[in-house]
Amino acid sequence: MQKASKAQNILSIEQDGPIAILTMCRPERRNAMNDGLLERLDDFFSNPPEGVRAVVLTGSHGHYCSGLDLSEHVQRNAEDTLHHSRNWHRVMDVIQSGGLPVVSAMFGAVIGGGLELATSTHVRIAEPSTIYQLPEGRRGIFVGGGATVRVGRILGADRMTEMMLTGRKYNAEEGLSLGLSHYLAEEGKALEKAVKLAGKIAKNASLSNYFMINAISRISDMSRTDGLFVESLSAALSQTGSDAEEGLKAFLEKRAPVFR
């Protein structure tokens, strides 16, 4: 495994063939998010290294991400808070809709902004130590990194309201049943499983991955007729390229496809 770029102290970036592994490294703050870490994530996903087809996002020292770093909280007026929140939304959108499939390997704290970050990724694997929480409501503030959309659409508005009002914590098994994760791995095995799944995803046709990431979530926002039309457009574009030809040929020849 070789370094894909100069390692940043707060975000380690490694590339293993078509897979990039991003590790958040702020152990003294349980990998809490600050503007510097958000900027590093933005830099990577806005201009990923050549050849990367899938990403694994994880934390270090026993935690995924414990949310916004309140120790670096800056007192802002309403306008500045609005712009700060909208920048979070922009970066989370780049992660979710930029075109690269992202697999989260989660353990320990997945709290507040950490849960907002995790739910902007496409496949989520949790270890038994994982804890999910949205504590903002108990601290006199409101979520601002996209939780009402991303977490709310997984849990539903009613359950998210209760979660914020009471400060409830969900454990790994509860998170799996609710959809906060897709897989539950053994302790210490989430990263290994994430890399394995990312390798599998990286073998898909890149255009098919792009449509799966971008079309499905948008179709869920559309009316039935609009959604079906966009599905047809996505099918038409994906099924008429060289990768579709290779996929059909590989099926007939009983072998694994090799996409461009």
Note the pLDDT tens digit of each residue in 127-155.
999 999 999 999 899 999 999 999 999 99
| pLDDT the model gives residue 73 | 65
| pLDDT the model gives residue 74 | 67
173 is catalytic: no
Residues 157 and 248 in one domain: no
Averaged confidence pLDDT in the chain: 92
Residues 225 and 160 in one domain: no
Residues 149 and 186 in one domain: yes
| pLDDT the model gives residue 212 | 96
Indicate whether 248 pLDDT > 80: no
Residue 259 lies in a domain: no
pTM, two decimals, is: 0.92
- Mean pLDDT in residue range 96-105: 97
Catalytic residue among 72, 136, 231, 246: 136
245 is catalytic: no
| pLDDT the model gives residue 258 | 79
Q: What is the pLDDT of residues 160-202, one digit of tens each?
A: 999 999 999 999 999 999 999 999 999 999 999 999 999 999 9
Query: Taking a C-beta distance cutoff of 8 angstroms, is the pair 126, 100 a contact?
Result: no
Q: What is the pLDDT of residues 24-48, one digit of tens each?
A: 999 999 999 999 999 999 999 999 9
pLDDT band with cut points at 50, 70 and 90 for residue 246: confident
Residues 23 and 150 in one domain: yes
Strands (E), the chain: 2-3, 11-16, 19-24, 54-58, 102-106, 109-111, 123-126, 131-133, 169-171, 183-184
- Domain containing 240: what range? 206-252
| pLDDT the model gives residue 245 | 72
| CATH number, domain containing residue 241 | 1.10.12.10
Residues 137 and 71 in one domain: yes
Residue 12 lies in a domain: yes
Q: Please measure the distance between the N-terminal and C-terminal CA atoms of the chain and give it in whole angstroms.
A: 23
Of 69 and 213, the one with more pLDDT: 213
Residues 193 and 214 in one domain: no
Residue 221 lies in a domain: yes
Residues 143 and 222 in one domain: no
Residues 195 and 210 in one domain: no
- Mean pLDDT in residue range 9-14: 95
| CATH number, domain containing residue 60 | 3.90.226.10
Indicate whether 8 pLDDT > 60: no
| pLDDT the model gives residue 204 | 93
- Mean pLDDT in residue range 17-27: 97
Question: Which domain-ending residue is among 183, 202, 221?
Answer: 202
Catalytic residue among 28, 50, 72, 116: 116
Residue 87 lies in a domain: yes
Percentage of the chain with pLDDT > 70? 96
| pLDDT the model gives residue 72 | 66
Query: How many domains are there within the chain?
Result: 2
Indicate whether 4 pLDDT > 90: no
CA 240 to chain centre: 29
Number of H helices, E strands in the chain: 10, 10
Residues 192 and 215 in one domain: no
